Structure 1
Amino acid sequence: MKILIVEDDRLSASILLQLLTESNYTIDTAADAKTAWQYIETYTYDLLVLDIMLPDSDGIDLCTKLRAAGYMIPILLLTAKDSTSDRVMGLEAGADDYVVKPYAFQELIARIRALLRRYHDHDTLVQGLTWENLRLDFSTNTVTYNQQPLRLTQKEYGLLELFLRHPQQVFSRSVLIDKVWSAGEFPSEEAVTTHIKGLRQKLKAAGISEDPIETLYGLGYRLKAEPTAKQQDQPSAIASIPQQTAEARVKEALAEITKRLHDNLAELIPMFRRVAIAVEEGNLDLEMRHKACMEAHRLIGSLGTLGFPQGSTIARQIEQLLKDDETLNSTDADNLKQLINTLQAITTDSLNTTNHHVAVSHPPIESAKLPLLLIVDDDVEFVQEIQLEAETWGMRVETAHSLAIAREKIDQERPNIILLDVMFPESDNGFVLLDELAQKQIDIPTVITTATSGLSERVMAAQRGGQAFIEKPASAEEILSTIAQVMQQQRNDRPRVLIVDDDIHILKVLQILLAQWDLEVSLLADPKQFWQVLESAAPDLLILDLNMPDYSGIDLCRAVRTASLWHDLPIVFLSSQSDRQTIRQIFAAGADDYLNKPIVEADLQTRILSRLERSRVSRQAADFDGLTGIYTHRRGIQSLTQLIRLATRNHQSLCLAILDLDLFKQVNDRYGHGVGDLVLKQFGKLLRQNFRSEDVTMRWGGEEFVVGLYGANSQQSIERLNEFLEIWRQQKFLVTATESFSVTFSAGVVEYLQDGSSVELLYQRMDKALYQAKETGRNRIVLASNF
């Protein structure tokens, strides 16, 4: 349910916001009557909590105005005046209840729940909402299946509640955003898809045999009709399989990592012994010494993090012995042999026991797997080329040389993305597979490849939900870059973390630890691939190991800080070195924080999560315009520059358009800046809803906006902008009950390379096109190349 709190006391409003959000209500707040009125006109609320004393109006007057306008939303008044006359005035103005200040927050929340019960279906609210054995209980705001609680996020709870309240009603993604998200949030429509997917996964994991949420392609989502009693009585395949506990899955994963470490040590110990012999004979070359030193350095973190501190200490001593620039002698050889014997003895005993552990709690081990790419193509050479490169992009690969094998692979493990050639020698083409997945309501992002580049193939791919279309021949880098972009668009709004460390054991442990905090984790073991993975992963935080071959963490950090797009990216270092000089070098390179190996989970959680939260708040303020919810000028320029780079690299078309609201000054002069702000806010909302996540929408300044249309040529861009212009023309803004107005816009469009190769040149050309649109009568779109 969605509640609007109108309260100018920020402390009281923030406490109410926190308490009600924890009860899974969606909350908007307004500090004055003017803002509250705009919110109520824009969104639908289940309850209004209204303070009587507001800075710009009397709350009773606002209550009277709402009732006169026909709004029947239940209203709870907050008043500091405990007199009969004030209470009577409030109730006669149309309020449903009141609470006198100072009040107990528990009492206020109880009153809110009582009002919600009174104004909605009483039996439903008392008994809760159900679907099969799924139950949403309003008395506790919890969800259970077969009496077992489900841990849902606030957004997942809100979506499920909306579906259960309105069975069979179809909700578009834009409507779901209005119903479930707060006014201060500006999610893309892909965020809805992500939360629906997360909700489905949790319901499936709970044992629900049939997905209760139905996707109606092109329309939205709705709740399915409940299965028949016969269907409910049939045991599901999922329910019949004992579910592993989270602890068991964690132990299993860590045991696998520990086994790999044991196998790795079986190779490293003999190598260390060969180094000791070379030292003894006086023929140890620099390459062999450096390699042994690096392997010892990796062991410090691996052994310590996996719960073998003694082995980590010995590895550190080996590193220090081999690290010194001085010539090694026979005494050093004896010391090295003794350290190697001790390391072998300690690790053999420790790794063969089952009592070691890493202190983690309930991470979802499935989330710790690298994303799975399924390549459906009968071109063996092409598949092998993609398969070899995919690992450096942080992907696992499965292959299928026929559609039949592809169906089996999908049944065995659902891939994160499919690379599909639609032309096969068999009777069926690849489009058949997409049709089958759609019928089964299996939503897997798909990149289409084919040697045929006709318009009909592209249209068919788009109609069946293909996210990208690549014409063969194409390089592995181009294909994997496109796949990475599509996966990025499909990701949810979880914070993204990129970890760079040449120690694969550390990478795996960090992935497990971070996955339990609902983070999207990307791993990279080869620093040479850093920049392309950085751009494809677009992380919210970067974790760097200090010592790595080819490029150190300090090298990578300095490179990141030279790029304006990544200038504010939080960077955390990992290192087994904690001397003052090393720490100073790390921070001088541009690091934000430092963690010592071996990793302590509590420190990792505190540092990473707090750093992500501070970055999110700072980025939200700097990147998004507070009124329209789209990119600010600064952030938009960065994104347009990145789009130009991607278009160049991937040989994609790109168009930019500047949109200017016609005669907007007259709106402000005639109706006031408050109404003008409402127009700008609605324009920003429609821009977010009508353009794709791979496009860029930004507020250039005032009533000017810029849109970057990735992958669209000039003709396609003109068509999409004309469709948007028609949508905008139909928007009506009410001034009074009898007076309304509408606004149009003019636009100038340019195409990358044809009209310019930089944002500055493209802006000059599209600004001239915009001027031409204004001069020829406004309310139209002009292409720069046409004049």
Structure 2
Amino acid sequence: MTELTLEQKLQAMRDKFRESLGGRIVEIDAAWKAACEGDEEARVTLHRLAHSLAGSGATFGLDKVSEVSKGLERAVEAVSSGIDIASSGAVTARLAQVRQVVTEAAYDDSRVAEETSLTIASRSVDNRRLVYVAEDARAEPDNLAEQIGHFGYDVERFFTPEELFKGVERQIPIAIVTDVVFESGIHAGIDVVERITEEISNDIPVFFISTLDDIAARLRAVRAGGLAFLNKPVDVSVFVDRLDALSSIEPPEPFRVLVVDDEEAMTEYYRTILEAVGMKVVAVNDPMMVMDALVSFLPEIVIMDLYMPSCSGYEMAQVIRQQEAFISLPIVYLSSEGDKGRQLEAMSAGGDDFLAKPIVPDHLTGAVTNRVRRWRVLRSFMVRDSLTGLYNHTKTKEMLDIEMARARRQGSGLFFAIVDIDKFKLVNDTYGHPTGDRVIKSLSRLLQQRLRKVDIVGRVGGEEFAVILIDTDVENAERILNELREHFAAVVHHSGETEFQCAFSCGVANFEDYETAQDLNEAADRALYAAKNAGRNQVVLARTDK
């Protein structure tokens, strides 16, 4: 069966929406009749139905339907509670307009000619480790290129803007690091980046470095699309963290988006748009099911309508915020509500942003992308170690509790190991803390590269790491940890002209021998000290009296 294109899918939705218009008029008429008989709940339903039709009509290209529906919505709002709505000439007139326009649209066979604007970005890089560094040949060497190379990157140096341009023409790197000032001009580094953006690629991350720190240089760097502006001397440990994120061979996890709207046509439309750019989407049409979706799906953003039956978007945002786990979860309202006061009210009730229907697909995906990226950064500050990007001590303990419970339920194996770099204080005292940081990062990278994706790694102390080996036995656990130990001992570290090597000791414990995560942790810790006392650079399995 041939896969439909995005435009074909959206056109099918427009056709389906048009077919639903007759039923919508029936619903509106029923609500109108009940409201005329004094049913206040029916008045609320009439307002919601008009509001919904205003938003969905515009989304599916029926602007006239949207326009008259907004008129009905405003007319219903203008009738005070307790006043006979049947006596309102404005409501009666607007209702007649809606009936006429919607009926015409329902029987109009002509298709809406609407071009979908949706950008799906992609960038091809031949070498996921290639970094270009451009510095003025006159500048004092600061070994930046060399230091970046210590972290496993392939670094190519350039000494003029023209050399950098030719290098990018030849091969696109994962990132460009360029000085701002060159002999050819005070902002020559920015000039060449603008030229690269216009003539070669506008999708290469650029880091500007400079001894300048004036607002003019920073502003030009921003306008040129710079990812960062770093003052010399550059803190390489911070800089490499950014590079690691850019060069990750594994693609990032798809954004998880929860869409809440009582209109099934709307949730399906948003789902189609967001999934087209690789996001994972769960759609909920019943607000009462939102909490179940939050717990099972763990979304990174909630896109929600304001007006829904049984629960408004305002109310649902407050319910979500009552849960500590979701107190910082981004909530974005997507509604045809045009009243600024009500938009602000919605924001004060727990929302983070307000997007107006109809929304251009590119604007929707852009808004979601920006919000989720910021959310991931904030989350990383809470659960990740800033130097290595591994789980921090608190998160590692939490994951150990979770994985022990899972292993008991499934009857699978689990081993917990504590890894500690031998004589690390001597490294810091001899070569300095920046070199010590590079050693820590090299071990963290080794652990990430050599372990399986299901295994969990955290940094739990200065030079101490924790490893949770999932679904394995004692022979494999010891083999894996000894292989890691041997690989790390073979790594050559640099400090200026000096080369040196490090080793680590490791204690490992089997979760089956211990009741709690704390007991397991303490057993691995005792085994670690046994490894240290036995001469270091070895793996020791915790022994029990069982």
For the aligned pair, the TM-score class normalised by the smaller chain equals 0.5 to 0.7
What secondary structure sits across from 2:437 in the alignment?
helix
Query: Offset of 1:628 from its aligned partner?
Result: 3.1
Match of 1:720 among 477, 488, 499: 477
Query: Offset of 1:530 from its aligned partner?
Result: 2.9
Partner of 1:591: 351
Look up the equivalent residue of 1:301 and give its one-letter code: G
- Give the Cα–Cα distance (whole angstroms) in 1 for the partners of residues 464 and 515 of structure 2: 20
Partner of 1:707: 467
Alpha-carbon contact 1:718-1:781 (below 8 Å) kept: no
Deviations 1:177-232 (A, max 9, x none): xxxxxxxxxxxxxxxxxxxxxxxxxxxxxxxxxxxxxxxxxxxxxxxxxxxxxxxx
Does residue 311 (structure 1) correspond to residue 65 (structure 2)? The answer is yes
- Give the Cα–Cα distance (whole angstroms) in 1 for the partners of residues 342 and 299 of structure 2: 25
- Give the Cα–Cα distance (whole angstroms) in 2 for the partners of residues 344 and 647 of structure 1: 61
Match of 2:105 among 325, 350, 370: 350
- Give the Cα–Cα distance (whole angstroms) in 1 for the partners of residues 22 and 491 of structure 2: 74
Does residue 302 (structure 1) correspond to residue 56 (structure 2)? The answer is yes
- Give the Cα–Cα distance (whole angstroms) in 1 for the partners of residues 481 and 300 of structure 2: 32
What secondary structure sits across from 1:582 in the alignment?
helix
Query: Offset of 1:552 from its aligned partner?
Result: 3.8
Alpha-carbon contact 2:455-2:468 (below 8 Å) kept: yes
Query: Offset of 1:611 from its aligned partner?
Result: 3.1
Distance 1:735 1:608, change over 3 A: closer
- Give the Cα–Cα distance (whole angstroms) in 2 for the partners of residues 333 and 648 of structure 1: 67
Look up the equivalent residue of 2:367 and give its one-letter code: R
Partner of 2:452: 692
- Give the Cα–Cα distance (whole angstroms) in 1 for the partners of residues 110 and 473 of structure 2: 62
Partner of 2:202: none
Distance 1:257 1:745, change over 3 A: same
What secondary structure sits across from 1:628 in the alignment?
coil
Query: Offset of 1:345 from its aligned partner?
Result: 2.3
Does residue 573 (structure 1) correspond to residue 323 (structure 2)? The answer is no
Partner of 1:143: none
Distance 1:572 1:283, change over 3 A: closer
- Give the Cα–Cα distance (whole angstroms) in 1 for the partners of residues 72 and 480 of structure 2: 68
Alpha-carbon contact 2:119-2:362 (below 8 Å) kept: no
- Give the Cα–Cα distance (whole angstroms) in 2 for the partners of residues 698 and 601 of structure 1: 39
Does residue 255 (structure 1) correspond to residue 23 (structure 2)? The answer is no
Q: Name the count of aligned residue pairs.
A: 411
- Give the Cα–Cα distance (whole angstroms) in 2 for the partners of residues 753 and 290 of structure 1: 62
Alpha-carbon contact 1:546-1:574 (below 8 Å) kept: yes
Map 1:95-134 to 2 at 5 A. none
Distance 1:309 1:628, change over 3 A: same
Match of 2:285 among 525, 535, 539: 525
Between 291-300 and 645-654, report the one with greater CA deviation: 645-654
Alpha-carbon contact 1:363-1:512 (below 8 Å) kept: no
Query: Offset of 1:610 from its aligned partner?
Result: 3.5
Normalised by the length of structure 1, the TM-score is: 0.44
Look up the equivalent residue of 1:498 and give its one-letter code: L
Alpha-carbon contact 2:72-2:98 (below 8 Å) kept: no
Query: Offset of 1:740 from its aligned partner?
Result: 5.8
Alpha-carbon contact 1:748-1:773 (below 8 Å) kept: no
Match of 2:259 among 486, 493, 499: 499
Query: Offset of 1:641 from its aligned partner?
Result: 6.5
Does residue 734 (structure 1) correspond to residue 492 (structure 2)? The answer is yes
Between 627-636 and 585-594, report the one with greater CA deviation: 627-636
- Give the Cα–Cα distance (whole angstroms) in 1 for the partners of residues 398 and 273 of structure 2: 32
Look up the equivalent residue of 1:725 and give its one-letter code: N
Alpha-carbon contact 2:510-2:520 (below 8 Å) kept: yes
Partner of 1:510: 270
Query: Offset of 1:515 from its aligned partner?
Result: 4.3
Query: Offset of 1:743 from its aligned partner?
Result: 1.0
Look up the equivalent residue of 1:261 and give its one-letter code: F
Map 1:195-594 to 2 at 5 A. 249-280=5-36, 282=37, 284=39, 286=41, 290-319=44-73, 326-327=81-82, 329=84, 331-332=86-87, 338-351=93-106, 352-354=108-110, 356-358=112-114, 360-362=116-118, 493-515=253-275, 517-562=277-322, 565-594=325-354
Query: Offset of 1:566 from its aligned partner?
Result: 4.3
- Give the Cα–Cα distance (whole angstroms) in 2 for the partners of residues 606 and 591 of structure 1: 18
Deviations 1:390-443 (A, max 9, x none): xxxxxxxxxxxxxxxxxxxxxxxxxxxxxxxxxxxxxxxxxxxxxxxxxxxxxx
Query: Offset of 1:576 from its aligned partner?
Result: 2.9
Deviations 1:44-83 (A, max 9, x none): xxxxxxxxxxxxxxxxxxxxxxxxxxxxxxxxxxxxxxxx
What secondary structure sits across from 1:277 in the alignment?
helix
What secondary structure sits across from 1:257 in the alignment?
helix
Partner of 1:780: 539
Alpha-carbon contact 1:690-1:724 (below 8 Å) kept: no
Distance 1:762 1:333, change over 3 A: farther
Alpha-carbon contact 2:523-2:542 (below 8 Å) kept: no
Query: Offset of 1:627 from its aligned partner?
Result: 4.2
Alpha-carbon contact 1:628-1:683 (below 8 Å) kept: no
Query: Offset of 1:702 from its aligned partner?
Result: 0.8
Deviations 1:93-121 (A, max 9, x none): xxxxxxxxxxxxxxxxxxxxxxxxxxxxx
Distance 1:671 1:256, change over 3 A: same
Look up the equivalent residue of 2:98 and give its one-letter code: L
What secondary structure sits across from 2:473 in the alignment?
helix
Look up the equivalent residue of 1:607 and give its one-letter code: A
- Give the Cα–Cα distance (whole angstroms) in 1 for the partners of residues 406 and 43 of structure 2: 42
Deviations 1:604-651 (A, max 9, x none): 355334334444555566654454342344554565566578779989
Alpha-carbon contact 1:497-1:543 (below 8 Å) kept: yes
Look up the equivalent residue of 2:105 and give its one-letter code: S
Alpha-carbon contact 2:527-2:542 (below 8 Å) kept: yes
Query: Offset of 1:258 from its aligned partner?
Result: 1.9
Alpha-carbon contact 2:32-2:46 (below 8 Å) kept: no
- Give the Cα–Cα distance (whole angstroms) in 2 for the partners of residues 684 and 532 of structure 1: 36
Distance 1:306 1:748, change over 3 A: same
Distance 1:554 1:274, change over 3 A: closer
% of aligned pairs identical? 27
Distance 1:277 1:700, change over 3 A: same
What secondary structure sits across from 2:453 in the alignment?
coil
- Give the Cα–Cα distance (whole angstroms) in 1 for the partners of residues 444 and 394 of structure 2: 17
Gaps of 5+ in 1: 1-237, 365-489
Alpha-carbon contact 2:505-2:532 (below 8 Å) kept: no
Deviations 1:437-475 (A, max 9, x none): xxxxxxxxxxxxxxxxxxxxxxxxxxxxxxxxxxxxxxx
Distance 1:275 1:624, change over 3 A: closer
Distance 1:290 1:735, change over 3 A: closer
Q: Which has the higher contact order (CA 8 A, sep 6+)?
A: 2
Deviations 1:141-163 (A, max 9, x none): xxxxxxxxxxxxxxxxxxxxxxx
- Give the Cα–Cα distance (whole angstroms) in 2 for the partners of residues 666 and 305 of structure 1: 65
Query: Offset of 1:272 from its aligned partner?
Result: 2.3
Query: Offset of 1:703 from its aligned partner?
Result: 1.1
- Give the Cα–Cα distance (whole angstroms) in 2 for the partners of residues 539 and 265 of structure 1: 32
Query: Offset of 1:356 from its aligned partner?
Result: 2.7
Distance 1:648 1:750, change over 3 A: closer
- Give the Cα–Cα distance (whole angstroms) in 2 for the partners of residues 263 and 648 of structure 1: 53
Query: Offset of 1:529 from its aligned partner?
Result: 3.4
Look up the equivalent residue of 1:780 and give its one-letter code: V
- Give the Cα–Cα distance (whole angstroms) in 2 for the partners of residues 718 and 561 of structure 1: 47
Alpha-carbon contact 1:279-1:333 (below 8 Å) kept: no
What secondary structure sits across from 1:701 in the alignment?
coil
- Give the Cα–Cα distance (whole angstroms) in 2 for the partners of residues 269 and 651 of structure 1: 57
- Give the Cα–Cα distance (whole angstroms) in 2 for the partners of residues 621 and 674 of structure 1: 21
